[in-house]
Structure formats: C-alpha cells, structure tokens
C-alpha cells in the first residue's frame, strides 16, 4: 500500500460524502455523509503521518482527537434530529422552515 492509494481512497470517500450532503434530503443521511467526509480526513492524517512524518504516531494522535470531536458533534446533532422529528414528524430538511430567516 502506498501513499497514493491511501489518498485515492480518502478522495473517493470524501467525494461520496460531498455527494451525499448535496443530494440527501433526510437529516440522518446528511449526518452519515458528513461522517464519511471526516473519515476521509482521518485517512489523510494517518497516511501522511505514516509515510512522511518522522514520528508515525502523530497522525494517530490527531486522528483520535478528530474521532473524539466527531463523536461529540454527532451526539449533539442526533439529539437535534430527534427533537426535530418529535416536533415535526418528518426529517425532510427542505420542509423545515422554522429556523429560516424570513426578514431578509
């Protein structure tokens, strides 16, 4: 396995995440797509640290930090999604206009 194959894998995952964020209407699908994008960033961190850095553990430490922040972020986002579902009985982000600024 080379650096180029790791970067290609990360690029494909990030591209799939971008596609999911732009095309999904369901809030859960958007959250999963964002998770794919963050996993692609983790692959980049670990692969660059493994192939280029003097200390290969630096990428793993940064990756663990990103995973911890992502877990907290997804917990808050999932709580918001559950709250929105309980209130509106749907998760279609195009139909949610409550947070939209109408004064502009």
Residue 67 forms part of a structural domain: yes
**What backbone phi and psi angles, to 5 degrees, belong to 25?**
-110, -15
CATH code for the domain of 40: 1.10.287.3510
Residue 101 forms part of a structural domain: no
Residue 94 forms part of a structural domain: no
What's the number of domains the chain is made of? 1
Mapped onto helix, strand or coil, the DSSP state of residue 11 is helix
Q: Which of 3, 24, 21 is nearest to 13 (CA)?
A: 21
Residue 103 forms part of a structural domain: no
Burial of residue 91, with CB atoms counted within 10 A of its CB: 0-12 exposed, 13-18 middle, 19 or more buried: middle
Give me the domain span that covers residue 11: 3-88
Summarize pLDDT for 36-91 with one digit per residue, the tens: 999 999 999 889 888 888 887 877 888 888 889 889 988 998 898 888 888 878 77
Beta-carbon count within 10 A of 48 CB: 17
Residue 8: the pLDDT is 96
Residue 81: the pLDDT is 84
pLDDT at residue 103 tops 60: no
Residue 87: the pLDDT is 82
């Amino acid at each position: 396995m080379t650096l180029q194959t790791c970067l290609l894998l990360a690029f494909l995952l990030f591209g799939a995440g971008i596609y999911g964020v732009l095309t999904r209407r369901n809030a859960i699908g958007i959250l999963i797509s964002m998770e794919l994008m963050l996993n692609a960033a983790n692959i980049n961190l670990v692969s660059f640290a493994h192939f280029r850095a003097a200390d290969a553990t630096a990428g793993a430490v940064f990756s663990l930090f990103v995973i911890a922040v992502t877990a907290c972020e997804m917990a808050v986002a999932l709580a918001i999604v559950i709250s929105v579902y309980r209130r509106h009985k749907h998760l279609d982000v195009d139909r949610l206009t409550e947070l939209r600024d109408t004064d502009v």
